[in-house]
């Protein structure tokens, strides 16, 4: 089930790319969500009606191939402002989980202010630099090191997750090192590295993450 803000961002984001009819919009959202995802008409069309009532989108009839009329969806200026709000301040849960954050990243270029775009990326980088998550624990409640995981499938899962996390951190650092954000990105890295060395929080250490390679 979609959170309202998540679905609204996808609708407004795709319509900011250009006008679409409902079927095509539904297809694009489903494909963005990945294999196995499903967006029902019962979720999409009430959301479209709500956005139209709020003046964020419009629906107009156009004649398509074979003379068949189609309702074309178009974002309004107010809808574009709402999209910017949703991109500027994603909820924390949208920033923490990889699938949800990818939904933010898919439309982040629609946020016109570069400083605001970088602020979103810095939030994500800080979350990642707090340390890798601990998926499994030993009997004493301590996070289990990947090398000590006897289950080969769990070990594979943590290795894949760690590799994806490292790649994302590297990409974020490259993006944020461009121009005025270089000093801030380096400062964030230093602060987070110090916190990781202190071993704060219910997460495994950076050493564990390196061990996963």
Rg (CA), the chain: 21
Kindly state the tokens that stand for 152.
Answer: 């080969």
Distance CA 203, CA 213 (A): 17
Please give the model's pTM, rounded to 2 decimal places. 0.75
What is the reported pLDDT for 64? Answer: 65
10-residue mean pLDDT series, the chain (213 residues): 81 97 93 82 92 96 72 97 96 90 96 96 94 81 85 90 93 84 45 41 42 40
Vertex 17: Cα angle to 16 and 20 (nearest 5): 90
pLDDT at 62: 78
SS3 letters for 144-195?
CCHHHCCCHHHHHHHHHHHHHHHHHHHHHHHHHCCHHHHHHHHHHHHHHHHH
The pLDDT of residue 2 is 55
- Report the pLDDT value the prediction gives residue 80, as an integer from 0 to 100: 98
């Amino acid at each position: 089930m979609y959170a309202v803000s998540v679905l609204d961002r996808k609708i407004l984001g795709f319509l900011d790319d250009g006008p679409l009819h409902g079927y095509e919009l539904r297809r694009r959202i489903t494909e963005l969500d990945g294999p196995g995802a499903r967006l029902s008409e019962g979720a999409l069309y009430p959301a479209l009606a709500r956005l139209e009532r709020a003046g964020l989108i419009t629906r107009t009839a156009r004649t398509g191939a074979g003379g068949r009329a189609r309702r074309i969806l178009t974002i309004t200026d107010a809808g574009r402002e709402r999209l910017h709000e949703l991109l500027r301040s994603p909820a924390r849960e949208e920033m923490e989980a990889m699938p949800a954050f990818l939904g933010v990243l898919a439309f982040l270029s629609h946020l016109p202010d570069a400083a605001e775009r970088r602020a979103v990326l810095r939030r994500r980088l800080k979350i990642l630099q707090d340390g890798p998550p601990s998926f499994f624990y030993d009997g004493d409640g301590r996070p289990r090191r990947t090398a000590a995981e006897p289950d080969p499938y769990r070990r594979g899962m943590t290795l894949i997750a760690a590799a994806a996390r490292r790649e994302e951190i590297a990409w974020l650092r490259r993006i944020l090192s461009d121009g005025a954000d270089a000093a801030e990105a380096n400062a964030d890295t230093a602060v987070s590295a110090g916190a990781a060395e202190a071993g704060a929080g219910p997460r495994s250490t950076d050493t564990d993450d390196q061990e996963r390679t």
